[in-house]
C-alpha cells in the first residue's frame, strides 16, 4: 500500500528542520510501504489524488479523532488488509477544511487541539506513520516508549 502525505499550501518551500524530519521518516517508512510527501496548491488537487483506485483519504483536522500510536497502526493495518492500494493523509489549507470536505473524507484525524505549521504537522504525522508501520511489523522502534 502506498502512503502519501499531502500538504495544501499556496506557496512556500519545504525547507528547515521540520521538513528534514519529514524526509527522514518518509525514507524510514519506505522500508515498509512506498511513501512520499507532496505539496499541492489546492483542495481540488487533494480530491484528484483521492480518485486513485482503492484509495482512502484521512484529513488532519482538529475535529478529528485523536488516536494512540497503536490505534493509528490498527487503522493502517485494517486499510492495508482490506485491499486499499493508496492511503492519503492530507494536511489542510490555512483556513481549514470545509464542512463538505470533512463529510466527504474517509476519516478525520487530529494531532491535538493546537494549530501547527504545515511542516511541523507533517513531521509529527510522518513519525507516527513510521511508528505505526514498525508496530505492525513487530519492529522494536516502538517498544521503548
Question: Could you report the per-residue pLDDT of 45-57, keeping only the tens digit for each?
Answer: 999 999 888 999 9
Mean pLDDT of 86-90: 98
What is the per-residue DSSP string for the chain? Answer: -EEEEEEE-SS----SHHHHHHHHHHHHHTTTS-EEEEEESSHHHHHHHHTSTTEEEEEEEEEEEE--HHHHHHHHHHHHHTT-SEEEEEE--TT---HHHHHHSSEEEES-SS---HHHHHHHHHHHHHHHHHHHHT-GGGGG-
We report the CATH number of the domain holding residue 40 as 3.40.1280.10
Q: What is this structure's pTM?
A: 0.94
Mean pLDDT of 97-104: 97
Q: What is the domain extent for residue 36?
A: 2-144
Q: Is pLDDT of 145 > 60? A: no
Higher pLDDT: 11 or 18? It is 18
Count up the domains in the chain and report the number: 1
Mean pLDDT of 60-77: 97
Higher pLDDT: 14 or 23? It is 23
Tell me: the pLDDT tens digits for 22-48? 999 999 999 999 999 999 999 999 999
C-alpha to C-alpha distance for 65 and 111, rounded to whole angstroms? 8
Q: Is pLDDT of 11 > 80? A: no
Amino acid at each position: 500500500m502506498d502512503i502519501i502525505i499531502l500538504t495544501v499550501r499556496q506557496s512556500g518551500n519545504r525547507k528547515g528542520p521540520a521538513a528534514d524530519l519529514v524526509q527522514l521518516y518518509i525514507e524510514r517508512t519506505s522500508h515498509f510501504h512506498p511513501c512520499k510527501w507532496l505539496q499541492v496548491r489546492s483542495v481540488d488537487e487533494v480530491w484528484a489524488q483521492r480518485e486513485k483506485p482503492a484509495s482512502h483519504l484521512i484529513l488532519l483536522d482538529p475535529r478529528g479523532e485523536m488516536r494512540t500510536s497503536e490505534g493509528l497502526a490498527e487503522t493502517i493495518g485494517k486499510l492495508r488488509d482490506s485491499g486499499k492500494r493508496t492511503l492519503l493523509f492530507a494536511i489542510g489549507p490555512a483556513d481549514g477544511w470545509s464542512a463538505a470536505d470533512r463529510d466527504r473524507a474517509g476519516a478525520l484525524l487530529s494531532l491535538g487541539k493546537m494549530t501547527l505549521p504545515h511542516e511541523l504537522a507533517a513531521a509529527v504525522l510522518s513519525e507516527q506513520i513510521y511508528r505505526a508501520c514498525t508496530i505492525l511489523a513487530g519492529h522494536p522502534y516502538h517498544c521503548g516508549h
